[in-house]
Structure 1
Amino acid sequence: MSLLRRWFDPIRSSWFYEKPTRQEVLPTEQGLRIYLRLDDVYSYLAVQQLTQLDDILSDALKPLKIIISDTTAEPPNGMSIEEWRNYSLNDAKILANQHRFSYDEEKPEQPTQEALQQAETILRNTPLTGQNFLYLLEDVFHMLWQQQYGKLRMLFVMASKQQKPQHFPERIFDHIPVLESYFEFGGRKYHAVDDLLRLTRRLKQQKLLIDNPIFLINHIEWREHLMSDAEELTEIQAMHPELNLYIALEDPISWLLLAYIKEELADYYNIQLHVFPLSYHGRDFFDWSLATRLSKRTEVKFTPFCRPTADGILKMAQLFYSVAEEQRIEAMYTILEAVWTKGKDLSFKAHLQQIQQELGIEDLVELDVMALLQENDQRCAEKHQPDFPVLELEIEGKRYVFNSLYRVWMIESIFSNVLEQKYKSDNDAELKDAEHLSDEKTKM
């Protein structure tokens, strides 16, 4: 690593962290936009919130601008189109269950091309505006994603015969690539579902809402536990859940989430953690403001840091694999803490030796560390996830795979669902026993 980066990164990161992360006021000239695709399942979830959002928007942001694209962007993380579709359909099911969206849980599938063309014609030709258009938009998405093709066909025939294409400045049909639905406000993008609460906090802070936003009511905030009942906690702890973390060591999100899970969730729920470091993925070119914001919300220390290079990753992994397996979680915590909160460059011999001594390592292991990292890469790729870190939770013989900072809440949600199913099974068993006993008494 260059001397410039080693010395400048800690200074720059500390300065960035201390300055205000929230721009006081974002410009409103462009209004509030939402980008949708008719064949995007996240757009289907997003439109179910639009009438409620429009109700509380101030006049300065009205009308809400709708951009409907017919072009998808490239899937992330090297995923194929089919892998992305399968992932997004399953992920949308999880979001729908958690946040009470309407969704076809039994057999979710992509709308047909004919249905998509009919839906676009309906939306292009309708003279409805404002809330009436938003209600129609939601209805059309329901027809598409719940395979209500008869209703859609009827509306299409009416729209084709009785109406002509309309032109409204707040309703645009475009070819801009859209992977998944997002809002745009003040030059910033917000995921239409995952960032909805962050967006509404911003709008409220700028006094652009006329009422309190109430969205995603089952959202689990950082440092707030979904489960606090002592009996429920004991039951989950007795199940000995395990959590595998596949992390890119140069990614600060890996440090922030590992630290948060270790400090806040692992002991609380008796989770056995396992870490699988990945090879260098170039994620040291990250969104500084996002990492800073996450640090403050999770209350995990961050900066001064020195972003690891590919060479630094190998040294970090060598330290990790040089300790006994049962000590590796603590070792990884110490290594990442040194990089992301003390500005250590582990490709620099003096810094490496300092951490080696702190970990009590006499001699670094003589293994092919790159081969181990590539083996972890392969195992991670088999999970077919679009982002890092990849998390794999095992409890009661079942495995659940999810990813990124946007899905950490799933850990506690899964625990809650496991207990709910257990109680339901226990109640059903008791009911059957009671019915059997009643039948025996009747025979007597």
Structure 2
Amino acid sequence: MSLLRRWFDPIRSRWFYQKPTRQEVLPTEHGLNIHLRLDDVYSYLAVQQLPQLEEILSDELKPLKVIISSQAPEPPNHMSAQEWQHYCLNDAQILSKQHRFSFHETPEQPSQEALAQAETILRNTPLQGQDFLYLLEDVFHMLWQKQYGKLRTLYAMASKHHQEQHFPERVFNDDAVLASYFEFSDRKYHAVDDLLRLTRRLKQQKLLTGNPIFLINHIEWREHSISDAEELNEIQALDPELDLYIALEDPVSWLLLAYIKEELADYYNIQLTVYPLSYHGRDWFDWSLATRLSKRTEVAFTPFCRPTKEATYAMAQLYYRVPEEQRIAAMHRILQAVWTQGKDLSFKAHYQELQRELGLELQEVKQEDIQAKLKENDVLCEMKSQPDFPVLELRIDGQSYTFNSLYRVWMIESIFSNVLEEKYKIENEADSSSLTTEDKTNAEREM
């Protein structure tokens, strides 16, 4: 690592963290835009919130501008188109269940013919404002709920009775849109994951006339969905296991591991296993996003020294030199040194300092063994077919659940709640069946 990066990163990161990261007032002259694709399942979830959002927007942001794209970029993280499509449908189904969006039990991508008909309907309608947003929601329902008969009827009417309309708040283009997002003052907000962040910003600037209530089952950081002692004991007794596949140069790996270790692991008796990955170039991250996430999760962050490829290898070497039963604590300490104490572990003095702290003077691991382990972890992670890091696999009660990123940590507690709900349902059905059998036996005796 260059001397400039080793010495300047900690100074710059400390300054960046201490300065105000939230601009008090963002300009509103470009209004609020939402970018959609008719064949994007996240757009389907997003449009279900738009009429309510439009209703509480201040006049300064009205009308909400809807931009509908016909193009999608390449899938992320080297996923195939089929893998990405499968992931999106499964993820959207989870989001719809958690936040009570309308969603089909067996979702599938709309046909090309249906997409073309839907676009014609939306291009030709003279409706504006909330009326258009309700129509937009209805059209998405028709596409994703397989209501093709209704769609054909509406298409016939739109084609026969209307010409294409041109309104400034309704745009059709070919911009590449991976998944639906809002745009406010040149800042992008994921249409579902960042909806609360967006509404907090709008509320802070007094750009909402009412209270935004959208993601009703959202689990806040450092708050637990299971607090009843009996329910907690039941989850702990199931011995949940959680595997984390982390890119060591990614600050989100530190934020996620620290949060889970500090807040969830002991609380739910989760058995953690960490699989470090080879270098993925994620040291070129958005500093402001990482800072915001650290403050949201209340995890210490900065001064840091962004790990290079050589530094991540040194981190992995330290990790695999530690006895297996001590590795979670060791990885926490390694990442803590990098992301809160500005240590460069490709620098011999810093490496040896941490080596002594971990008591590793005598343990040695061959370089080939480390490379082999990282490659093995890469293959295992790739098999999970996830679009982002870190990748998490949770196992509990005979079931396995795979998800990714800091945006999905809430799924851990949501899954626990679902497991309990299913467990109680089975027990109640068994009790009901037992009572029915007992009633029959008593009736036969009376006869």
**TM-score between both structures, scaled by the size of structure 1:** 0.99
| Identical-residue share of aligned pairs (%) | 74
Q: What is the match of residue 298 of structure 1?
A: 297
Residues 64-89 of structure 1: per-residue CA shift (max 9 Å, x gap) = 00000110111110111111000000
Structure 1 unaligned regions, length at least 5: none
What is the identity, as a one-letter code, of the residue corresponding to 2:103?
Y
Q: What is the match of residue 40 of structure 2?
A: 40
Q: What is the match of residue 418 of structure 2?
A: 417
In structure 2, distance between residues paired with 1:262 and 1:84: 30
Residues 178-225 of structure 1: per-residue CA shift (max 9 Å, x gap) = 010000000100000000000000001111111111110100010011
In structure 2, distance between residues paired with 1:379 and 1:255: 20
What is the identity, as a one-letter code, of the residue corresponding to 2:278?
S
Residue 402 (1) aligns with residue 437 (2): no
Q: What is the match of residue 219 of structure 2?
A: 220
Counterpart mapping for 1:159-178 below 5 A: 159-178=158-177
Q: What is the match of residue 389 of structure 1?
A: 390
In structure 2, distance between residues paired with 1:298 and 1:146: 37
Counterpart mapping for 1:120-269 below 5 A: 120-269=119-268
- 1:365 Cα deviation after fit: 1.8
- 1:370 Cα deviation after fit: 1.4
Q: What is the match of residue 381 of structure 2?
A: 380
Q: What is the match of residue 427 of structure 2?
A: 426
Residues 220-248 of structure 1: per-residue CA shift (max 9 Å, x gap) = 01001111000000000000000000000
Q: Which runs of 4+ in 1 moved over 3 A?
A: none
Secondary structure at 1:70 match in 2: strand
Residue 26 (1) aligns with residue 26 (2): yes
Q: What is the match of residue 98 of structure 2?
A: 98
Secondary structure at 2:417 match in 1: helix
Q: What is the match of residue 307 of structure 1?
A: 306
In structure 2, distance between residues paired with 1:372 and 1:422: 38
In structure 1, distance between residues paired with 2:227 and 2:9: 41
In structure 2, distance between residues paired with 1:212 and 1:218: 16
Q: What is the match of residue 68 of structure 1?
A: 68
In structure 1, distance between residues paired with 2:332 and 2:244: 13
Q: What is the match of residue 435 of structure 1?
A: 436
Structure 2 unaligned regions, length at least 5: none
Residues 353-402 of structure 1: per-residue CA shift (max 9 Å, x gap) = 00000101123322521111111000000000000000000000110000
Secondary structure at 1:27 match in 2: coil
Aligned residues: 443
What is the identity, as a one-letter code, of the residue corresponding to 1:400?
Y
Secondary structure at 1:175 match in 2: strand
In structure 1, distance between residues paired with 2:5 and 2:193: 33
Residues 290-311 of structure 1: per-residue CA shift (max 9 Å, x gap) = 1101111111100000000000
Q: What is the match of residue 352 of structure 1?
A: 351
In structure 2, distance between residues paired with 1:371 and 1:72: 36
Q: What is the match of residue 2 of structure 2?
A: 2
What is the identity, as a one-letter code, of the residue corresponding to 1:29?
E
What is the identity, as a one-letter code, of the residue corresponding to 1:122?
I
RMSD: 0.6
In structure 2, distance between residues paired with 1:305 and 1:367: 26
What is the identity, as a one-letter code, of the residue corresponding to 1:372?
K
What is the identity, as a one-letter code, of the residue corresponding to 1:376?
N
In structure 2, distance between residues paired with 1:98 and 1:250: 32
In structure 1, distance between residues paired with 2:37 and 2:366: 52
Q: What is the match of residue 12 of structure 2?
A: 12
What is the identity, as a one-letter code, of the residue corresponding to 2:396?
I
In structure 2, distance between residues paired with 1:272 and 1:296: 26
Counterpart mapping for 1:53-92 below 5 A: 53-92=53-92
